[in-house]
C-alpha cells in the first residue's frame, strides 16, 4: 500500500511539529507549511491525501488556502480554528473544509478525525454502482466526478459523499443526525449546522430543487419521475 501523505499547514511551529510527529508515528508521510502562499505551492507540487489546515495564517488565511487548493483538486480538509465561533466554522465549511477542530485539541482526537475522513473517501469510492443518474446529473463514483448536463461540477470530498449518500436513497427522508453519523462519522448530533452548510452548497452547485428540506427532520433527494 502506498504511504498516505498529509500536508499540515500551521504557523505555530510547536503545534505543527506535534501534529506531524503524531501522524508520522501512525505511518503517514507529512509535510509542513507555515503560511498561506507556501501551503498552496506545496499542495500544487505534491499529491496529498488530506490537508490539516489552520485558519489563522500569515500571507493569506486558511479560508483562502482552502478555496485555492479545492479549486486545484478535491481533497479532504480538516480545519483548525482557535475560536469556537459558529459563523467562522460555517464559512470554513462553505469554502470546502470537511471537518474542523477547535483549539486546544488532543492529538488523539485529531488523529481520529484524520482517519475518519480518509476512510469515508475510500468507502465512497469502493461502494455501490459505478454511476448514478439523477435526471441531468450523473455521479461517477469510481472517478468521484459529478456532471450536470454534461458539464463537470466541482464538489469537495464531503459534498460528493453527502450527495452519493442521499442519491442511494432517493426520496427517502434522512435525519440530520443520521447523516452526521453515516457521512461524517460523528457519534453525537451537535453538528447539524454542518449538514445544513453542505446541503446549501450542493443546492448552489446542482440546483435548488435537488434536495428537499423536511423541517425539523432532515433532507431527501428529489429525482425526476
Q: What is the pLDDT of residues 174-189, one digit of tens each?
A: 999 889 888 887 666 5
Edge-first strand order for the sheet with 99-102 is: 29-33, 5-9, 50-54, 77-81, 99-102
Cell numbers of 18, please? Answer: 506535534
Q: Give 108-133 pLDDT, tens digit per residue.
A: 999 998 998 888 777 665 555 678 88
Nearest-CA neighbor of 53 among 40, 44, 45? 40
Say how far apart CA 100 and CA 114 lie, in whole Å: 10
All residue ranges of the chain with pLDDT < 70 are: 1-2, 83-94, 123-129, 186-191, 224-225
Give the per-residue pLDDT at 14. 95
Give the per-residue pLDDT at 163. 93
Say how far apart CA 114 and CA 47 lie, in whole Å: 16
HEC-encoded secondary structure of 75-106: CCEEEEECCCCHHHHHHHHHCCCCEEEECCCC
Amino acid at each position: 500500500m502506498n504511504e498516505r501523505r498529509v500536508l499540515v499547514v500551521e504557523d505555530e511551529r510547536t503545534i505543527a511539529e506535534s501534529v506531524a510527529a503524531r501522524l508520522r508515528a501512525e505511518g503517514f508521510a507529512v509535510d509542513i507549511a507555515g503560511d498561506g502562499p507556501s501551503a498552496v505551492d506545496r499542495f500544487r507540487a505534491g499529491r496529498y491525501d488530506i490537508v490539516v489546515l489552520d485558519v489563522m495564517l500569515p500571507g493569506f488565511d486558511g479560508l483562502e488556502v482552502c478555496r485555492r487548493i479545492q479549486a486545484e483538486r478535491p481533497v479532504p480538509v480538516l480545519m483548525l480554528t482557535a475560536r469556537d465561533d459558529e459563523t467562522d466554522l460555517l464559512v470554513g465549511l462553505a469554502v470546502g473544509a470537511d471537518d474542523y477542530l477547535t483549539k486546544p485539541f488532543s492529538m488523539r482526537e485529531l488523529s481520529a478525525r484524520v482517519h475518519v475522513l480518509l476512510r469515508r473517501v475510500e468507502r465512497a469510492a469502493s461502494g455501490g454502482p459505478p454511476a448514478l443518474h439523477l435526471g441531468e446529473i450523473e455521479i461517477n463514483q469510481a472517478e468521484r466526478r459529478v456532471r450536470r448536463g454534461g458539464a463537470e461540477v466541482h464538489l469537495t470530498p464531503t459534498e460528493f459523499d453527502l450527495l452519493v449518500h442521499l442519491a442511494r436513497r432517493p426520496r427517502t427522508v434522512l435525519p440530520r443526525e443520521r447523516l452526521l453519523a453515516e457521512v461524517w462519522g460523528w457519534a453525537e448530533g451537535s453538528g447539524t449546522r454542518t449538514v445544513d452548510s453542505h446541503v446549501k452548497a450542493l443546492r448552489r452547485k446542482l440546483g435548488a430543487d435537488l434536495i428537499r428540506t423536511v423541517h425539523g427532520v432532515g433532507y431527501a433527494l428529489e429525482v425526476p419521475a
